[in-house]
Structure 1
Amino acid sequence: MERRKFLGALSIAGFAGTICPKGLLAAEKNSPGLSGNVKNEREFWWKLLYKIANPVTSNLANGTFKKNMLVEKSPTFDSRSVHVTYLEAVGRTFAGIAPWLALPDDETKEGAFRKKMRMEALQGLSRCFDPASPDLLNFKTDYQPIVDAAYLAHAFLRAPKALWEPLDDLSKERILTSFKSLRNRKPFNSNWLLFGSLTEAFILFAGQEPDSERLNKGVKKLNEWYKGDGYYGDGPNLAFDYYNSFVIHPMMVDTLKVMLDHGLATSKEYELALSRMERYAIGQERMISPEGTFPPIGRSITYRTGSLQALSQVALMERLPSTLKPAQVRAALSLVKKNMYDVPGTFDKDGWLQLGFVGHDPDIADYYTSTGSLYMATLSFLPLGLPESNEFWSAPAEDWTARKAWGGKKFAKDYHVDY
């Protein structure tokens, strides 16, 4: 990468810092979308994603990540090292921004911001795996790195040409070595098994030998725990929360895709997992109220819109069921984002996310939650990986299912499925 080009890309940093939350999130709640203007709706999404992710990517690039990230932890935070929060922020942020960063460069304002963030992300990745860097990420202690290595691996799988291939060989080797170092710790017997599976799937994707048992165990056990109608158990029992979306469906599908590409899984196995995620996505869309809210159910609700990752990934993959129009999913997600992020206290004075569901409320945070944990929020922005010309963005906004139903309009019936 030429230094002159890199500095040129960074020259818009001052302009980027002028994005105002109020200006970004202004909307008309009574319209199907945010303003009835499709182009403005996409602009709302990418500016909001940029606002959320920029403190992570820009500070990583500048070598000031740990210095400037003011860490807030749950009042019930457990005995794990609070330093795990830094890898949490990096892995989760990168998993959410990856599809957007994978789009080709263009001459639009969005394109300029996207290119800047991609270049900072690449520079930051080199820094945070450098043993001499003050921002070196921890993989050596605690169990939490098992989780967030998987989110970073997910980012590389979602945007290999944007985030993996451009890295220098030394950085790639450091990353893979860090991922492999986690093999001395076993994931817990829950959704955590998929963290091990996805990380090993990426190691396989990168051309190195995976730990076969770790790769297969998550897929095998989650299939054993499947409860039906789009829901996996989190362990032997069903947990009525959003972990099917935070983790299980996206990581199951993407692990199986790598395995399929390497002859380690069948098309039938992959399509079954994808069909189950599609079914789950139907339920997610129906849980978005006419007002653009979703139920604060279960643990980890401080991950905010990360709860809607499964629906967002199905949209990104252009696998929405026929009963869901892309424009209705976009309109529903847009209003949820407006309702969730246009609230005082969501961000601190320096732009970092704060503990809470809507606004700032540390008491709602779980014992494993700190500032870095919150960047799961980026995972609902995956459809930004679709170009502006895609139907998801180009079609006029439509009412989503709950708004149709409660407005006395025609809407699709719903039935359980047997797969």
Structure 2
Amino acid sequence: MYRTSGAPIELQLPPEDRESAPFTGWTRAHWEAVADHWLLGLRPHTSPGHAAVLPPASRLSVSGRRSDGLEGFARSFLAASARIAGARGADPENHAEWYAAGLAAAVEPGGPEAWAHAADTRRAPVEGPAQPIVEASAVAFGLALSREWLWDRLDEGVRQRLGAWLAHHASLQAWDNNWLLFTAITEAFCDSAGIPVARPHAEADVERVESWYLGDGWYNDGPLETQGRALDHYNSWVIHPYLWMWYRLRGDRAPADRRARYRERLAAFAGSYSRLFAPDGSPLFLGRSLAYRTAVLAGPWAAALEGVSPLAPGATRRLASGTMRYFTDRGAGSTGPLALGWTTGEYLPMVQGYSGPGSPYWAGIGMLGLSAPADHPLWTEPEQPQPSERNDTPATVALPDLGWLVATSRRHGVVRVVNHGTDHTRPGAAAPTGEGYGPVYARLGYTTHTSPGFGQAWSDGADGHLALVDAWERATTRGAIGGFAVRGEDVAASWHQPFIGGRALPGARVVTASVLHADAEVRCHLVDAPEGWTVREGGTLVATEAAEKPSLPAGGAAWAGDDRWRSVLAPLAGWSGARAETLPYGAVTPLGGGAEVPVLWAAGRPEGGRGVHVSVHALG
């Protein structure tokens, strides 16, 4: 029996197997152990009937306790359903029985644990939480995965009541972004189970999502005119796995040309996205909802399960095991429930208001590969190198439809994205300022081993950004990307209008071109500035325990970091008489300790006009 009181139980893993898994040592048994540990570790934090799961956290989401309890159940069910499905009936921890009891309690008429019904987002103002739309889709996704061992074995009355609850959410109109797929999946499951839906609209919603396709396997998360260029991990933890499940549930009823089109896009995504994982398993730190952690693996798993991935099965498993091990080795979910953070423990500055105690368990969709049986090539083929460690893979690759350059440093084991294409900002608007939004979209560069600065670092606007600064040291923020271009595999450029206090700064404009060479990036800035504003550029912020460094001589390079990582920013042109310094911070990243940013200040306070500033950025 799993202990239900006292100190959390440590994760117990089987011995490594370096013959079948020469890169990570992990086999299917390791994945099963992690899944069981996550799921059993939640049982002490559940309601008596199992319908609500509320792990400890220092805050609830904006949707409230009742919705958060449903969220904890539904999201942990993503991992449970994959574990149940792949085991093909072998269930020593009784996960199927445990979740079946929760489903029954959730739809008991007048029961104390009955799940809430989501509000209709078509009515303004929205009265009540809309969040159950998301959680209904997770329940539907999990039931589709584990149908034979769970849904088919539920009591008929429970199936009818649960079906009615799902059908209600399938009939609702969701927000005009990835949420359209939540109702679509719920409707598709209902249809596959013979459950009528009052207002079916999934076909149109899926085609609308398909219309947001940009290229290189990636979708924008909503219309460009309202969401800006919203490119982030939602492509892997919602858009691709949900589209994959949608076409799977529709089967022959989905038009053949649409299914073929999606398979091509899924294959392209697996190829481009797999470049964003470092050899040590760390994924790119970019975008919102990063507390979902291993959900980044859902897209690559889906491509492999569909049989369209350009990666060999052994390479997919190596990538996935590397990332799962990266988080597990750093304490995420190892000694207690997953927290609202990145590695171990909470880090609330990076968390959005919609996230609650159970939100991190969306990570469970990253266990999608466990739904494949033990004799699947994903589990029987030996591990093979992932793209970031293959010598025959170019160190630099362009994703022109995204406005990104992806660079892998084989010497330092870090993957960098030069970002000229994502901002999550409406055209003509300032970068998002809400909690957990601005830092993860508005920077010119993101990596697998650093985090942008939150809190005071974001307010100062130094890291990874060229700002105009006034006499009171107020710094401009990056406005929406006005346009971008990518040339070859190592050159990209974009322009934006700087904003100050939420308004565009008149007469100001910044055009930036990035050129990659070896482990360095040269940034060339063409700056139009009004009178009285000076130029300040910041390099990559790095977590460090080092003490504050003194300013360096005028014209010299600025650097930050310690023995783990060193961030360097050196002037090449247009910085005559510049001042180089290091800005120290406290815990402004989820990577722990303090942090530092190397900074260059242009000499004097210009009279306004146009100038060119060229610098080199390096991280190693």
TM-score range, shorter chain: 0.7 to 0.9
Say whether residues 1:359 and 2:344 are aligned partners: yes
Aligned partners of 1:201 and 1:259 also within 8 Å? yes
Matches within 5 A, 1:158-197: 158-182=145-169, 185-197=172-184
Task: Report the Cα distance in structure 2 between the residues aligned to 1:316 and 1:400, rounded to whole angstroms.
Answer: 17
What SS does the corresponding residue of 1:102 show, helix, strand or coil?
helix
**2:34 corresponding residue in structure 1:** 48
Q: Going by fraction, where is helix more abundant, 1 or 2?
A: 1
**2:23 corresponding residue in structure 1:** 33
**1:378 corresponding residue in structure 2:** 364
Q: 2:244 aligns with which of 253, 262, 265?
A: 253
Q: Aligned letter for 2:144?
A: L
Describe the shift of the 1:329–1:310 C-alpha distance in structure 2 as closer, same or farther (beyond 3 A). Answer: same
Say whether residues 1:87 and 2:70 are aligned partners: yes
Deviation at 1:95, TM superposition (A): 2.5
Cα deviation per residue 1:297-337 (whole Å; 9 max; x = unaligned)? 1000010111221112222334322xx11112212211211
Task: Report the Cα distance in structure 2 between the residues aligned to 1:393 and 1:28, rounded to whole angstroms.
Answer: 13
Task: Report the Cα distance in structure 2 between the residues aligned to 1:87 and 1:303, rounded to whole angstroms.
Answer: 17
Matches within 5 A, 1:161-310: 161-182=148-169, 185-211=172-198, 213-237=200-224, 238-261=229-252, 263=253, 265-310=254-299
Aligned partners of 2:49 and 2:101 also within 8 Å? no
Deviation at 1:58, TM superposition (A): 7.6
Aligned partners of 2:117 and 2:169 also within 8 Å? yes
Aligned partners of 1:302 and 1:356 also within 8 Å? yes
Say whether residues 1:410 and 2:410 are aligned partners: no
What SS does the corresponding residue of 1:281 show, helix, strand or coil?
helix
Describe the shift of the 1:348–1:20 C-alpha distance in structure 2 as closer, same or farther (beyond 3 A). Answer: closer
Describe the shift of the 1:268–1:388 C-alpha distance in structure 2 as closer, same or farther (beyond 3 A). Answer: same
Describe the shift of the 1:33–1:256 C-alpha distance in structure 2 as closer, same or farther (beyond 3 A). Answer: same
Larger CA Rg, structure 1 vs 2: 2
Aligned partners of 2:294 and 2:324 also within 8 Å? yes
Matches within 5 A, 1:108-123: 111-113=90-92, 116-123=94-101
**1:4 corresponding residue in structure 2:** none
Task: Report the Cα distance in structure 1 between the residues aligned to 2:40 and 2:303, rounded to whole angstroms.
Answer: 25
Describe the shift of the 1:260–1:348 C-alpha distance in structure 2 as closer, same or farther (beyond 3 A). Answer: closer
What SS does the corresponding residue of 2:392 show, helix, strand or coil?
coil
**1:5 corresponding residue in structure 2:** none
Describe the shift of the 1:125–1:57 C-alpha distance in structure 2 as closer, same or farther (beyond 3 A). Answer: farther
Say whether residues 1:390 and 2:376 are aligned partners: yes
What SS does the corresponding residue of 1:357 show, helix, strand or coil?
coil
Aligned length: 383
Say whether residues 1:400 and 2:386 are aligned partners: yes
Q: Which runs of 5+ in 2 are unaligned?
A: 119-127, 402-620
Q: 2:306 aligns with which of 314, 317, 330?
A: 317
Say whether residues 1:148 and 2:135 are aligned partners: yes
Task: Report the Cα distance in structure 1 between the residues aligned to 2:44 and 2:74, rounded to whole angstroms.
Answer: 15
Describe the shift of the 1:386–1:28 C-alpha distance in structure 2 as closer, same or farther (beyond 3 A). Answer: closer
**1:6 corresponding residue in structure 2:** none
Aligned partners of 1:56 and 1:90 also within 8 Å? no
Deviation at 1:372, TM superposition (A): 1.3
Task: Report the Cα distance in structure 2 between the residues aligned to 1:136 and 1:96, rounded to whole angstroms.
Answer: 22
Q: Aligned letter for 2:24?
A: L
Deviation at 1:184, TM superposition (A): 7.0
Q: Aligned letter for 1:242?
A: H
Deviation at 1:167, TM superposition (A): 0.7
Task: Report the Cα distance in structure 2 between the residues aligned to 1:379 and 1:57, rounded to whole angstroms.
Answer: 19
Q: Aligned letter for 1:209?
A: P
Deviation at 1:168, TM superposition (A): 0.9
Q: Which runs of 5+ in 1 are unaligned?
A: 1-11
Q: Aligned letter for 1:154?
A: F
Task: Report the Cα distance in structure 2 between the residues aligned to 1:260 and 1:212, rounded to whole angstroms.
Answer: 21
What SS does the corresponding residue of 2:248 show, helix, strand or coil?
helix
Deviation at 1:137, TM superposition (A): 2.1
Task: Report the Cα distance in structure 1 between the residues aligned to 2:155 and 2:348, rounded to whole angstroms.
Answer: 40
What SS does the corresponding residue of 1:371 show, helix, strand or coil?
coil
Aligned partners of 2:185 and 2:245 also within 8 Å? yes
Task: Report the Cα distance in structure 2 between the residues aligned to 1:83 and 1:71, rounded to whole angstroms.
Answer: 15
Aligned partners of 2:171 and 2:200 also within 8 Å? no
Deviation at 1:269, TM superposition (A): 0.8
Task: Report the Cα distance in structure 2 between the residues aligned to 1:329 and 1:242, rounded to whole angstroms.
Answer: 17
Cα deviation per residue 1:129-187 (whole Å; 9 max; x = unaligned)? 22454432222541011111011111112221122111111111111211233367421
What SS does the corresponding residue of 2:214 show, helix, strand or coil?
strand
Q: Going by fraction, where is strand more abundant, 1 or 2?
A: 2
Task: Report the Cα distance in structure 1 between the residues aligned to 2:233 and 2:334, rounded to whole angstroms.
Answer: 26
Task: Report the Cα distance in structure 1 between the residues aligned to 2:261 and 2:399, rounded to whole angstroms.
Answer: 15
Task: Report the Cα distance in structure 2 between the residues aligned to 1:58 and 1:318, rounded to whole angstroms.
Answer: 39
Deviation at 1:67, TM superposition (A): 7.8
TM-score between the two structures when normalised by the length of structure 1: 0.81
Aligned-residue CA RMSD (Å): 3.2
Cα deviation per residue 1:200-230 (whole Å; 9 max; x = unaligned)? 1111111133355422232121122111221
Task: Report the Cα distance in structure 1 between the residues aligned to 2:116 and 2:170, rounded to whole angstroms.
Answer: 14
TM-score between the two structures when normalised by the length of structure 2: 0.56
Task: Report the Cα distance in structure 2 between the residues aligned to 1:268 and 1:127, rounded to whole angstroms.
Answer: 42
Deviation at 1:384, TM superposition (A): 1.3
Task: Report the Cα distance in structure 1 between the residues aligned to 2:324 and 2:92, rounded to whole angstroms.
Answer: 20
Deviation at 1:236, TM superposition (A): 1.3
What SS does the corresponding residue of 2:95 show, helix, strand or coil?
helix
Deviation at 1:56, TM superposition (A): 4.4
Describe the shift of the 1:72–1:306 C-alpha distance in structure 2 as closer, same or farther (beyond 3 A). Answer: farther
Task: Report the Cα distance in structure 2 between the residues aligned to 1:25 and 1:239, rounded to whole angstroms.
Answer: 40
Describe the shift of the 1:417–1:171 C-alpha distance in structure 2 as closer, same or farther (beyond 3 A). Answer: farther
Describe the shift of the 1:211–1:101 C-alpha distance in structure 2 as closer, same or farther (beyond 3 A). Answer: same
What SS does the corresponding residue of 1:34 show, helix, strand or coil?
coil
What SS does the corresponding residue of 2:38 show, helix, strand or coil?
helix
What SS does the corresponding residue of 1:289 show, helix, strand or coil?
coil
What SS does the corresponding residue of 1:398 show, helix, strand or coil?
coil
Aligned partners of 2:80 and 2:95 also within 8 Å? no
Deviation at 1:373, TM superposition (A): 1.0
Q: 1:126 aligns with which of 89, 104, 107?
A: 104
